Amino acid sequence: MSSSTLSRQTSQPRTTPGPGKAGLSLRRSRDNLNGWAFATPFLVFFLVFLVWPILYGFYMSLTGKSLTGANDSLIGFANYAEAFADAGMWRSLGNTLYFTVISTVPLVLVALVMAALLNIGLPAQWLWRLSYFAPFLLASTVVSLFFVWMYNPQLGLINDFLSKFGIPKVGWLNDPNVAMWSIVIATLWWTVGFNFLLYLAAMQNIPVQHYEAASLDGAGPWRQFFSITLPQLTPTTVMIVLLQILASLKVFDQIYQMTAGGPGGSTRPVVQYIFETGFTGYRLGYSAAISYIFFGLIVLVSALQFVITRRRSA
């Protein structure tokens, strides 16, 4: 007690100047209490619904636990060994990475184009923003209903439109070569509005003086975009790309609802594989092990993000 009071007096807090030396130590020890009191409600939820499941999930991954209750005993890393030899897991992981790669590019580029167009200062801003952003407000179920209907091979709007140009019917969600792209298109429509708003916000924080100076130097709009806007947006772009990768890796909802992972497992993402091994295959332990392999992947990408953003701000 006394020693900590001493050390506290020597390291004066810069942020909260107390009412004087006498009251300081009293206030400081009260703040120790206050701090934890304010933190407690969050911490209770945090420990029960986040920290504990993480630890418990890891423990589960080391057991042969099943939903039917059989075999709770520890089996070491056998589940992990099995997962690494499991073609189904690798395939679903491959699908997830494929989706991530082919979705991130359009989700960033289209957002940039949308924001750049609006940043010119078009009339009726709210109308553009509404039409680009509104899909983001929909539940995945609604988006899936919309697109399954439009992708319908016989009655669908898209095939009907294409037939006017003599293009034969496409099995948007039935053709294993096309299905993932169809999901990317639906995802682009659904979520690009979020990235668009982030870009728009960043663009509007670029000082007007930059453009005025460039204008005086005779730089046209394209030149201004590539020499001022894009470079100024680099931190935003890095952030959007990384956020998008992290979001795309977690893909599940729209795929599950539009193709249920089919045809022939060609769109099944790793989250669905975890879901199925756990809840329809009843192998909770094995499912938890795959969760942790997936978690490892996310940690890797997040670490990359941390390194990149740190280097930028340093």
Partner 1 sequence: MATPTLTRSTPAAPTTALKIRQPRKRLTVGRVAAVVVAALIAVLWLIPFAWATVTAFKSEADASASKVSWFPPSGFTFDAFVNVFQAGNIPLWTWNSLYTSAAITAITLVISALMAYALSRIEFKGKKVLMVVIIAAIIVPPPVLMIPLFYQMLAFKMIDTSWAIILPQVIHPAMVFVLKKFFDQIPHELEEAAVMDGASRLRIFLQIILPLSRPILAAVAIFVFIGAWNNFLWPFISTNDDSLLTLPVGLQTIKSAYGVQYAQNMASALLAALPLIVVFLFFQRQIIKGVATTGLAGT
Query: Minimum Å distance from CB 87 to partner 1?
Result: 21
Q: If binding is defined by CB under 8 A, does position 127 make contact with partner 1?
A: yes
- Pick one of 94, 109, 125, 223: the residue that binds partner 1 (CB under 8 A): 125
Which of positions 224-243 make contact with partner 1 (CB under 8 A)?
232, 235-236, 239, 242-243
Stretch that binds partner 1, among 53-61, 70-78, 86-94, 171-179 (CB under 8 A): 53-61
**Interacting residues with partner 1 between 273 and 312 (CB under 8 A):** 274-275, 278-279, 284, 287-288, 291-292, 294-295, 298-299, 302, 305, 309
Q: How far is the CB of 94 from partner 1 (least distance, A)?
A: 17
Could you say which of 130, 213, 304, 307 contacts partner 1 (CB under 8 A)? 130
Q: Which is closer to partner 1, CB of 158 or CB of 179?
A: 158
Chain-centre distance for alpha carbon 41: 27
Q: Does 139 bind partner 1 (CB under 8 A)?
A: yes
Assess 71 for contact with partner 1 (CB under 8 A).
Answer: no
The tokens describing 200, both together, are: 């728009």
Q: Which residue of 70, 101, 122, 213 would you call a contact of partner 1, by CB under 8 A? A: 122
CA atoms within 13 A on the CB side of 123: 0
Per DSSP, the three-state class of 99 is helix
Q: Tell me, rounded to whole angstroms, the distance of Cα 267 from its chain centroid.
A: 18
Which residue from 149, 223, 230, 304 is in contact with partner 1, where contact means CB under 8 A?
A: 149
| Alpha carbon distances (Å) from 208 to 141, 198, 205 | 42, 18, 9
- Smallest gap from Cβ 298 to partner 1, in A, equals 5
Distance from C-alpha of 176 to C-alpha of 267, rounded to nearest angstrom: 8
CA atoms 92, 95, 99, 100: torsion sign: positive
Q: What residues pair up with 63 in beta bridges, in sequence order?
A: 74
Dihedral pair phi/psi, residue 239, rounded to 5° = -65, -45
CA distance 4 to 2: 5
